[in-house]
Amino acid sequence: MSRVGFIGLGIMGAPMAGHLIAAGHEVFLQSRSGVPDALVERGGTACSTAKEVAEKADIIILMVPDTPHVESVLFDDAGVASGLTVGKCVVDMSSISPLATKEFAAKIAALGCDYVDAPVSGGEVGAKAGSLTIMCGGTEAAFARVLPLFELMGKNITLVGGVGDGQVCKVANQIIVALNIEAVSEALVFASKAGADPEKVRQALMGGFASSKVLEVHAERMIKRTFDPGFRIELHQKDLGLALSNARQLGVSLPNTATAQELFNACSAAGGGAWDHSGMVQALERMASHKIG
């Protein structure tokens, strides 16, 4: 069994850490919002700082919201870097900037430690079920070292390439998911305003080329008006911001990604930053003066 640190115990981090504890690993826990009592009761050990986690664990996993949070957790005075010794491994499962990831990895490597970026897809449902998709960047040796832990949290686990490539893959994933949500939203608003039953339309489309996980899961959310996250709009905004800013640096145009971001922006302006990202449909509903549900 491994000595594992887990920092960031939010909607997804807490169940992910729970799977590691359930498998018998010695898990050291820290989160800015506090360590849930349920994880300690199941056998996890609460720590007061990220440095303490790094001192006690051999593999340290981060699952925090954004690039600045990762930088702070790693490099603040009581951060992970200050508690590392040669041979340990840092795994960032957050979704952050690919360019910043490479910078962070270089600093950790200078301390004689491995670094793997391993952002995930699957949301709260996947985190609880242990069925996340995990997109990894790092050396083959580092990946092999942490793979047994990933297998407790996910099902589709891929070493995409070197450090940073996992984050590139996650940004691509978020582009696809956002555009699928936008497409499903448009289709259901159109169908509903034309007088068709949106649930019957959804059922019919599930049998053809229009079928997708978004149509299966998020279309149902849209129809039933269940917009509790899930995956918050404000986090998807962050991911599309990464896509658009990195695209500018690469000289790539992402016109539909920019449109999806504007729809998310409209939802946030209406107080919906904490809605599930399927709530994008509400921006289109306002433009159509029609609700599908």
Q: On the CB side of 128, how many CA atoms lie within 13 Å of its CA?
A: 5
pLDDT at 231: 87
User: For residue 258, what is the enclosing H or E element?
Assistant: helix 255-269
Q: What is the DSSP letter of 28?
A: E
Query: Where are any strands of DSSP class E within 197-241?
Result: none
Residues 264, 240 contacting (CB under 8 angstroms) = yes
Report residues of the chain scoring pLDDT below 70: none
Q: Identify the residue whose tokens are 């504890």.
A: 21
pLDDT at 1: 80
Closest CA to 165 of 148, 142, 145, 149: 142
What's the predicted TM-score (pTM) here?
A: 0.88
pLDDT at 293: 77
Q: What is the DSSP letter of 232?
A: B
Alpha-carbon distance of 164 to 116, in angstroms, equals: 8
Beta-bridged to residue 91, according to DSSP, are 61, 116
The string over 108-147, giving b where at least 16 C-beta atoms fall within 10 Å of a residue's C-beta and e elsewhere, is beebebbbbbbbbbbbbebbbebebbbbbbbeeebbebbe
Closest CA to 279 of 210, 216, 231, 211: 231
Q: Would you call 48 exposed, middle or buried from its count of C-beta atoms within 10 A (0-12, 13-18, 19+)?
A: exposed
Alpha-carbon distance of 197 to 218, in angstroms, equals: 16
The residues annotated with a catalytic role in the active site are 170
Closest CA to 244 of 260, 232, 220, 233: 260
